[in-house]
Amino acid sequence: RCFCKLQGEVDDCSCKVESLDSLNNNKIYPILTSLLSRNYFRYFKVNLKKSCPFWSDDSRCALRDCHVNVCQKDEVPIKIPDVDTHSEKHERNKYLKELNEGKQGFEERCAEERELGALDATISEEKKAEFQTWKEYDETLPLFCDIDDEHSNDMEYVDLLLNPERYTGYKGPSPRRIWRSIYEENCFKPEKNYGYGPDYGKDASIESMFFIARGMCLEKRVFFRLISGLHTSINIHLCDKYLFPAKNGFGQSYWDHNLQEFQQRFDPALTHDQGPQRLKNLYFTYLIELRALAKAAPYLKQKGFYTGDNQEDEDVQKGVNDLLDIIRKFPDHFDESQLFKGNTKEMQQLKSEFVLHFRNISRIMDCVGCDKCKLWGKLQVLGMGTALKILFSGDSMGPDSIVKSQDKDFQLTRTEIVALFNAFGRLSSSIHAIETFRKLAS
Ligand code: FAD
């Protein structure tokens, strides 16, 4: 039996690894893979040029496989709108309708508005007040990620299918510093030394974090497990799509699964017994994003996946609906109402620390020294942040609660939706890859 044949509970929830394997590999993975190849999901808008806010000495990686091909302007389907929240689209359509139905032409209307300066000012004061209340509301919502400025000149579309996540050769001090900073400076530490030995608290190393997390409260452990699950997923992909040198020194290098690399990273004998738990953390992260999709299903079903091609848009909506129906029927969802229980000052403090720590990790992604790794790192952290935003939004946090489709206050941008589905797609593909390694090892 391969060490990667995991069994039993995912931990911190009642769900079993076997039921997630079956749900993912038989149902979710095939639908999701097909959906993510569609135009709506394959183009991700991102700023890869943002400078690292924490250290300045990290040179950008020159490895060939770190290079990202960004889309030239004419390669992006032109009808993908930059901002496509439901209300903005509605406002835009309403404005265009009024403009078209009005007797005046555009020029006349502008001239009249210039003349009616006073009235104009009154309207915009009202609008300003409305914007202010929206802003105030938005500021009360937890902001999990430092989101790239949609209007920056450095925002570029990337075709994710042309830039797959795979082995890049990014290793050594640069990624080590990123992972160390994430675990040692941004994951939670226990306040007291409950017998962890000298290596606890602010000096805890990545390796000891693993043991420390077991003894922490649920919220802090969830934070660690989410990050560890993401780390597992990234490392599985580099093992699954690994670049081998040409055979016998002739011909071309080629991409294939690398079982030995996978074993080195996850075999308990080679990882101080931590490998299987790291794999379990992947299932846990998957379960969290699965629950977020279930909770946001009614909102996502009425969203509209607009690209301008009616047939394509209909097919994508149908695919999304089918996927969400499967997800909603899953009986063993994570119950987020177990988190941040009670409205005490301590809980509120813990919640805001949780958000702040996560947002810091989203900033660290700008310090990744390999563009390809940075692209997928930013996308997956934004996707996870979007999942957390969904879980902590809405009236109630019970397992049956949903983000109401009519809830005007809850909005996801197009970029957040693309990130959410693609991040979940990465976790789904990692679970599928474990099955491949299981077969290769047997
Ligand atoms: P690392 O993976 O760097 O891990 C460092 C230490 O963390 C380990 O020694 C171990 O103690 C601990 N650890 C490892 N896994 C876990 C886990 N799951 N949970 C808890 N602790 C753990 N490389 C690519 O080839 N392609 C990519 O697309 C890619 N994307 C990346 C994205 C980001 C954001 C980062 C930071 C790195 C990325 N890398 C990528 C690099 C890759 O993750 C490794 O850092 C690299 O392969 C070196 O691996 P390593 O064996 O030194 O251990």
Contact (CB, 8 A) for 386 and 362: no
Q: Where are the alpha helices (DSSP H) in 36-165?
A: 39-42, 86-101, 106-115, 117-140
pLDDT of amino acid 75:
66
- Give the number of the atom of ligand 1 that is nearest the alpha carbon of residue 373: 30
**Residue 371 CB–ligand 1 contact under 6 Å:** no
Q: Which of 404, 382, 396 is nearest to 301 (CA)?
A: 404
Burial of 114 (0-12, 13-18, 19+ CB in 10 A): exposed
pLDDT of amino acid 317:
95
Which two structure tokens, joined as six digits, stand for 211?
Answer: 């043991």
Tell whether the torsion through CA atoms of 172, 203, 268 and 372 is positive or negative: negative
Residue with CA closest to ligand 1 atom 19 = 228
Q: CA–CA separation, 150 vs 415, rounded Å? A: 9
Mean per-residue pLDDT, 220-225: 94
Which two structure tokens, joined as six digits, stand for 257?
Answer: 């699964």
The confidence band for 267, taking pLDDT boundaries of 50, 70 and 90, is very high
Measured in Å, how far apart are the chain's first and last C-alpha atoms?
7
CA of 360 to the centre of ligand 1 (A): 18
Q: CA–CA separation, 165 vs 427, rounded Å? A: 12
Which two structure tokens, joined as six digits, stand for 156?
Answer: 């570029």
By most ligand atoms within 8 Å of CB, the mutation choice from 61, 65, 170, 426 for ligand 1 is 170
Supply angle C-alpha 21, 24, 30, rounded to 5.
Answer: 140
CA of 5 to the centre of ligand 1 (A): 22
Tell whether the torsion through CA atoms of 85, 71, 418 and 27 is positive or negative: positive
**Residue 180 CB–ligand 1 contact under 6 Å:** no
3-state secondary structure of 218: helix
Stretch among 38-42, 116-120, 199-203, 365-369 having the lowest mean pLDDT: 116-120
Is the predicted pLDDT of residue 438 greater than 50, yes or no?
yes
CA of 179 to the centre of ligand 1 (A): 7
pLDDT of amino acid 88:
41
3-state secondary structure of 74: helix
Is the predicted pLDDT of residue 138 greater than 50, yes or no?
no
Q: CA–CA separation, 313 vs 311, rounded Å? A: 5
CA of 143 to the centre of ligand 1 (A): 26
Which letter, b or e, does each residue of 371-397 get, where b requires 16 or more Cβ atoms within 10 Å of its Cβ?
bbbbbbbbbbbbbbbbbbbbbbbbeeb
pLDDT of amino acid 110:
34
**Tens of pLDDT along 351-408?**
889 999 999 999 999 999 899 999 999 999 999 999 999 998 764 433 444 444 445 5
**Tens of pLDDT along 268-319?**
999 888 899 999 999 999 999 999 999 999 889 988 888 878 899 999 999 9
Residue 351 neighbours by CB under 8 Å, 6+ apart = 142, 219, 340, 392
Is the predicted pLDDT of residue 417 greater than 90, yes or no?
yes
Question: Rounded to a whole number, what is the largest CA-CA distance in the chain?
Answer: 81
Instruction: Name which residue leads in pLDDT, 418 or 13.
Output: 418
State which H helix or E strand residue 156 sits in: strand 155-159
pLDDT of amino acid 152:
82
Residue with CA closest to ligand 1 atom 43 = 235
- Give the number of the atom of ligand 1 that is nearest the alpha carbon of residue 229: 18
The confidence band for 264, taking pLDDT boundaries of 50, 70 and 90, is very high
- Tell me the pTM: 0.84
Burial of 421 (0-12, 13-18, 19+ CB in 10 A): buried
Q: What is the DSSP letter of 43?
A: E
Stretch among 105-109, 151-155, 168-172, 259-263 having the lowest mean pLDDT: 105-109
Is the predicted pLDDT of residue 83 greater than 80, yes or no?
no
Q: CA–CA separation, 333 vs 327, rounded Å? A: 9
**Tens of pLDDT along 20-70?**
999 999 999 999 999 999 999 999 989 999 989 888 765 555 566 778 877
**Tens of pLDDT along 331-361?**
999 999 889 888 788 888 898 899 999 999 9
**Tens of pLDDT along 228-247?**
999 999 999 999 999 998 88
Which two structure tokens, joined as six digits, stand for 175?
Answer: 């990624």
